[in-house]
Structure 1
Amino acid sequence: MGLGGYAERVAEAMQQCERAKVAGLISGTPEKLVKWGQKYNIPESSRYNYDNFDAIKDNPDIDAIYVITPNALHHDQVIRSARAGKHVICEKPLAISAKEGQEMLDACNNAGVKLLVGYRMRFEPNTLEVVRLRNAGAFGRLKFFQGQCGFVAGDPKQWRLNKALAGGGSLMDIGIYAINGARYMLGEDPVWVSAQETKTDPVKFKEGVDETIQFELGFPSGAVASCLSSYNISHLDRFFLTGEKGFAEMWPSTGYGPIKGRTHQGDLGKPHTVHQRTQMDEMAAIIFDNNTPTLPVDGLTALQDLQIIEAIYRSCASGKREPIKLS
């Protein structure tokens, strides 16, 4: 659902999948439905628009709907997909508020369908190797995580810089990787945040669209995280984790790859995989086999990220350390 640039990347990657295939299309652009339909051999009976896609409930060829549309549209589209009896994969962020996210989670639970989120890094081999080493005690007691995520946002008219469609700015889009990384690299959830926003271009980054946010997270163990999210700084794609016995560094850490990483023991050396291909096969295993992934990609995990995001925004507004309460 939503045949934009990232959907194209996913669809291309899925041509190499073993357990997932493109079986239907949803778009508001008729020309795209024709072009994509011909390219991926999708019959007209499995091509829908945003007005009639509820009829997908009667299409047995489709098991799940992958929602890849602007953030503000996720809420209604995920709920409609759930009511059509289809499993749902939603791009991050899950929604533009925790309230919306909870409603989406409830709708999927009530419909008896799974809600998954496109957290592709949670299937990435180097990332999972760091998690394995952490669990094995290779780094000892963890002390500190640093996450740097950012790029220079181009076209000022793009939907990502539109508060009504994006729900925010860099934090919702790129900063969520640092939030996610802090959680899965440290292996625990934060309990407080202190954050500051910096805005140098209020014309491009209008009210409610954050340009750059620095935030610190505190964790129950005493570990802390220092993170940076920006739409106006290039070459930010780095994770660093350190403990009493060693460290792990990933740079690049969240891009499309290849991801590179090393620890105090040397290079991680895991092979590059096409993230979207791995994600879709792994999600097929979750849907069909009730497989439990090493790192969760479910709706609750995504809802918690939204709750952390809202606490970060509260801290920016209040100038104070804010508590984080997760579902």
Structure 2
Amino acid sequence: MTMDHLRRNFLQKLVASAVVVPMLSPYRALADADPASTGGNQGTTLRVALMGLGSYAARVAEAMQSCKRARVAGLISGTPSKLQEWGTKFGVPEKSRYNYENFDRIKDDPDIDAVYVITPNALHRDQVIRVARAGKHVICEKPMAVNAKEGQDMVDACADAGVKLLVGYRMHFEPKTLEVVRMRKAGDFGRILFFQGLCGFRIGDPGQWRLDKALAGGGALMDIGIYAINGARYMVGEEPVWVTAQQTKTDPVKFKEGVDETIQFQLGFPSGAVASCLSTYQMNHLDRFFMTGEQGFAELQPATGYGPIQGRTHKGELTQPHATHQTIQMDEMAGILLDGNTPVVPVDGEEGLKDLKIIDAIYAACETGGRQELRLG
């Protein structure tokens, strides 16, 4: 059986099994908390089950060993050997280890508060809905889904179940990124005029799931271009109202139908600010954000890698200390889920849904060659 058949059988099997910080963080990732919504859980630990034990989940699990308010408390995988190995390594008892067929049983596991879904994009919708119906909070890796319709289904399911849905936007807690956001809010750059986001690398193994439309939902835009989309929004501080885009494909064998290789896209904002962005799986050395306003500028390069992020503004170098992104993210998400804290830059399902609407519009613009209007609310 070919790798493509194996991946598709795996996808079909999983879909078929679906049910229809005690104080403000030193990284300033949270806005002032609502006193009425905090206090009851301060000091408690967020107990997280990791779903999909691949390379990024391993990075998250290792980073969580340094968390003050979050710990690995459950595991969900289709590979029994991984459940055994990870369970031993991270101290997860057998009763809190699940596979994709039986993880609905987390409903009866009092030692799990939330599930972090770290699986291929096309699986997110059904898995998040199952977790919500089991009564657990959800953290979902970005992109939240493969299109806005699926994302809306997820937002609605979590709302119906009375659980919170967060998206793994680690950059929303990164210190230098937050300093640029703070400066923009303080008016240090004046009226924002232009943003540029360059995101890309040469992707390797042609057989990986990220190059399979059925699992990834697209190509570079879904995986890496979303950083420029999301970054344009939090750097400029507005929601875009239109998008144009152009697609280039030089290797149709590696990048099959529906899997984008390189897309250039432009965003327009209500104030008149514009963004010019590049998303690619065919070029290295692309990880840069640049923004300019009437009174100053900000540059982050690297802007979205695992760190350390480096940056400067018209006032000089950014010197905030580096800390492991996933450690900060999980501690701050504990504050959001347990204490009702409000992050400076949102990480909820509605935030993820906005990015999906923009992705849908970018693909439509590539297809039609025309400008797409956006209404993100």
TM-score band w.r.t. shorter chain: over 0.9
1:168-215 residue CA offsets vs partner (Å, 9 max, x unmatched) = 000000000000000000000100011000000000000000000000
Deviation at 1:320, TM superposition (A): 1.1
Deviation at 1:234, TM superposition (A): 0.3
Alignment-mate amino acid for residue 204 of structure 1: K
Length-normalised TM-score, structure 1: 1.00
**Number of aligned residues:** 327
Alignment-mate amino acid for residue 87 of structure 1: H
Map 1:58-137 → 2, pairs under 5 A: 58-137=108-187
Map 1:245-260 → 2, pairs under 5 A: 245-260=295-310
Deviation at 1:273, TM superposition (A): 1.0
Identity %: 74
Q: Which residue of 1 aligns with 2:240?
A: 190
Q: 2:342 aligns with which of 272, 287, 292?
A: 292
Alignment-mate amino acid for residue 136 of structure 1: A
Q: Which residue of 2 aligns with 1:232?
A: 282
Q: Which residue of 2 aligns with 1:262?
A: 312
- The whole-number CA distance in structure 2 between the counterparts of 1:116 and 1:49 is 22
Q: Which residue of 1 aligns with 2:22?
A: none
Deviation at 1:106, TM superposition (A): 0.3
Deviating beyond 6 angstroms after TM superposition, the runs of 4 or more aligned structure 1 residues are none
Q: Which residue of 2 aligns with 1:218?
A: 268
Deviation at 1:19, TM superposition (A): 0.4
Q: Which residue of 1 aligns with 2:76?
A: 26
- The whole-number CA distance in structure 2 between the counterparts of 1:203 and 1:191 is 35
- The whole-number CA distance in structure 2 between the counterparts of 1:233 and 1:316 is 20
Alignment-mate amino acid for residue 321 of structure 1: R
- The whole-number CA distance in structure 2 between the counterparts of 1:309 and 1:2 is 24
- The whole-number CA distance in structure 2 between the counterparts of 1:248 and 1:51 is 48
Deviation at 1:324, TM superposition (A): 1.2
SS at match of 1:233: coil
Q: Which residue of 2 aligns with 1:151?
A: 201
Alignment-mate amino acid for residue 187 of structure 2: G
Gaps of 5+ in 1: none
Residue 326 in structure 1 maps to residue 376 in structure 2? yes
